[in-house]
Each structure stands twice: as structure tokens, then as C-alpha cells.
Chains A and B, each alone.
Chain A
Amino acid sequence: MAPRIQTGRVSNTILPYLSSSSSSSSSFSPLCPSSQSLSRQFSATAASQTKLRRQMFEWLNTEGAAYKHHIPNETNYLKGPRDFEGGPAKPFPNNKNFISESVLSEDLRNKVYELVVHQKKSIRAVSVQLGIDMRRVGAVVRLVELERRQQAQGKPMAKPYARAVHEMIPVTQLADPNERQTYHEPINDLPAHPTTGAQIFYPVPESRSFTRVDAGRVFSAAPAVEHSRKDELAHPSDLADIVFEKPGSIEWVGKGDNARQVLQPADVRIPHPQLVQLDRDRAAFPTERRAVGERHAQRLERQEKNEEKLREKARSLREDSIKHVEPEGGRFDFRIKEAVFSEQTVGQDGRAPWAPGRRYGVPTNDRKRGTVKIPTRVEA
């Protein structure tokens, strides 16, 4: 009979290095005479075990014994009856929808930081090279920077913990220099646009060419493109170049509050439109690998330059509208933002819900049910 309370030594799978003896004894022994006598000090009768409890100890002594210590670089998850090797890691056999996603290894995240910060590569290029989403690349750079600063300040790091956790969960490793990097995640996923949710029955004559560009216009209720302009565009993916060159060239439809940009084809909305063009070039010129590569590099460079220009423009706009005042001897700085309190911005009665500042005669709904009180974003 197993003891009610486990007073014997409980093996901690995170610390197998610290106690070398625990790794040698893999069999689980709940029947320990000393612990039994300790747990039954106040009772003369033997407590009966429940069935489930007995089954638990049975399982721990047979199948479960394998999970007592993890094998480094292998997940220590329960294996369901239908689990097979190489499939997605599922820690909970009864919850098939819970998939344990892999994380970046220490080497890989340091490589990302090295490429972006020291080699000055663009986030877009690093994302394609290592197969990591652009948002994740940005997050990695910020977090590694934070880590380095904390190290410089002499703050303690939980390195052994990180190492132990990395040994037990799926991890994307950095490939050797002459090997191909395995992709951490799909990087060119198309974000779902709410406009495409509608089901539209739109009859089109067979003689008319109807492409993704036209479908986008139908979804956003924009008039069809004229035939003369249509011929200029050989393939929808060429539109990506035009849009990157001039983001203002995207048409607007609707008036007032209903104004919206025309939905662009998937070729434009995916994170890496240049990859589509690269594949098309490869298919068209299978023998001219060098020329295709050069064209791709040029396209990438042009795209990055445009993006940089846009970022700079947005930054200067933001900087110009905010005046920074740093009073001497004070503890705080002041940021003075330009605001416009006119009939357009505050409404005729000055009580428009979008008006800047707090409003008069309108209850604040900050205590209503369902109002989010915790901060939902961080101002960088």
C-alpha cells in the first residue's frame, strides 16, 4: 500500500545534474517503510486506498517511470495512443488541439541579433534567411538588447533554468554554416482581411479576364479597372512593386467615415511579396540563376530603401508634432503635443466621443463591465 503523503525524496526533473544518484535509480518506489511510519503517526487503522490512487501508483511504477527523468533535447511529454514520431509535440494526449510550438534556441536568437545589429542586415532579409516571422525578429532583437543591458548592469540571469527548459521543449536549432536552416515557422502567411469575410455572388462573363486584383475591387465595392489600365499589369505580383514605390497609389473608395482603401491582392498583402517574384523569375529563367539572384537582390534593396524612407517620414512627422521640453533642475520632462479643438474635432456641442480631452456631461464608462482596465499596449 502506498503512503498517503509522499515524505520520501521527490525527484526534480529540472535538477538531474545536481543529484547524480537520482538519475541512476529510475524505478519509482512509493513503498518506503520509513515514510509509511511517518505518515501514520496518529492512526492505528490502515487507510484504504482509492482505486484511482492505486492506479496512479501502478502507472507510476510501469509506464510513468519513463517520464521521471527527461532525456536532453527530447520532449518529456505524455505519448497518446495515436502519437507518432516526427509529428507535432502534444503535451496533453486528451487535448489534440494543444500543440507545443517550438522556440528559438539560444544560438539562433543570438544569430538573429548578430545579423540585425552588427551586420546591419534588414529585418526582412534576416526573416527570409532564418525562416522567422518579421515580428518575431524584431522582438528577438529588443529582448536580446534588454538581456545584454541587464548583464552589463550585473543583474543575475536564470541561465540554468533556461537551459533545463530548452532541453525539455521543442527547439529550433541554428543550422551549421554549410547546412540549410530549417524554418522556424511559415513566414509568408496571408493575414485574413475582414473585407474578405463576405460571400459575394459576382457573375463575370467568360470572355473577361478576372484576376485577384479585380476580386479585391469587388470585395471593397470599387468600380472595375478600365481595360487600358488593366493591360499594363502583366501579373498581380507586379503590383507589389508599384505599391511599395508609391503607397499613396492605392485607391480610396467611399466617403466620410466609410472611406477605405481598395483591397489589394494577396500578392501585395503578404509579408514577403518579393519571394513570389523570385519564384516566378526562377520558373521563367531556370538557367540564369545568377541574373535572377541579382534581380532579387536589387528588388529587395529598392524595397528596403522605400520602407526606410516611409519610416523616416512617419518619424519626422511624429517628432515635429511633439515638442520636448526638459526643464533644468526638474525631475520630469514635458512633451507638448499639438491638438486641435475645433468643431470638426470635438463636434458641435463639444461632446463628440472622439474629442481630445475629457468631456463634460458624459459619464465615463471606465467602471462598466467588460471594460479593459489593464494596459493593452506598451508605448515604445
Chain B
Amino acid sequence: MVVRIRLARFGNKHDPFYNIVVAQARSARGSKPLEVIGTYNPIPKRAASFSSENANLRPYKEIALDRTRAKYWLGVGAQPSDPVWKLLSMAGLVEPKPATFHKA
């Protein structure tokens, strides 16, 4: 069976929060994973705009990631799901996937 690195949704209604988990591909989203290797908060945060340099910043999303564990699981053949692939590519652990469509 395939081992995947994927997101497990936590949080409440309209307030999502994800654990980045390593789990068997066929297991349920809410079941206990093999391992938790990070978190992803998809609700964008805005830096407090007290100083002028913060005022023009874009809102940001927070990711926490255990790089060594992520590298290990990728090394033994765990397959990241598409959303996790995006996050891992931003962390510089995998090559970014080519965009499937191009804006005109």
C-alpha cells in the first residue's frame, strides 16, 4: 500500500487548520496517521500595520514543517498529495510541478 504525505483537516466550520501527516493512502482523513510532520494554516494573516514597512506587505499563510522527517519520508518513497507537493516545493524539498494551465 502506498504511503502518502497529505493534509488532515482539523479546526471548526469555516476555520480550517491542517496537519501535514504521513499516512497509508487508503486510511481515512481523520484516522490516526503514521506520523505528523507539520501544520498548515490556510487562513491568511496580516502583519500588524504599526510600522510603515509592514503596511505594504501581502497577507501570509503559516506553515510549520519538520524538514528532516519530510526528507526521510520522501526518501523512502512516500508520495505527497498535490496540495502538499505545493507546500513542499515552497520549502525547497521537491521540484515544483509544472502548471497544468497558463493564464492567457
Contacts and interface: CB of A to CB of B under 8 A. Distances in A.
B27 interface: no
Interface string B3-20: 000000011100001010
Interface string A344-359: 0010001000011110
A357 B39 contact: yes
Contacts of A361: 32
A288 interface: no
A346 B21 CA distance: 14
A340 B60 CA distance: 22
Contacts of B32: 360-361
A335 B51 CA distance: 19
Contacts of B87: 334
Q: Chain A contact residues: over half helix, strand or loop, or mixed?
A: loop
Nearest to B15: A366
A340 B64 CA distance: 9
Interface string B39-57: 1000011011111101101
Contact of B61 (A145, A146, A335, A341): A335
Contacts of B19: 357-358
A149 interface: yes
Interface residues of A, number: 33
A337 B62 contact: yes
B90 interface: yes
Contacts of A331: 44, 58-59
A336 interface: yes
18 contacts: A146-B50, A326-B58, A327-B90, A331-B59, A333-B59, A334-B62, A334-B63, A335-B61, A335-B63, A336-B63, A337-B65, A338-B64, A338-B66, A339-B39, A356-B64, A357-B64, A358-B11, A379-B47
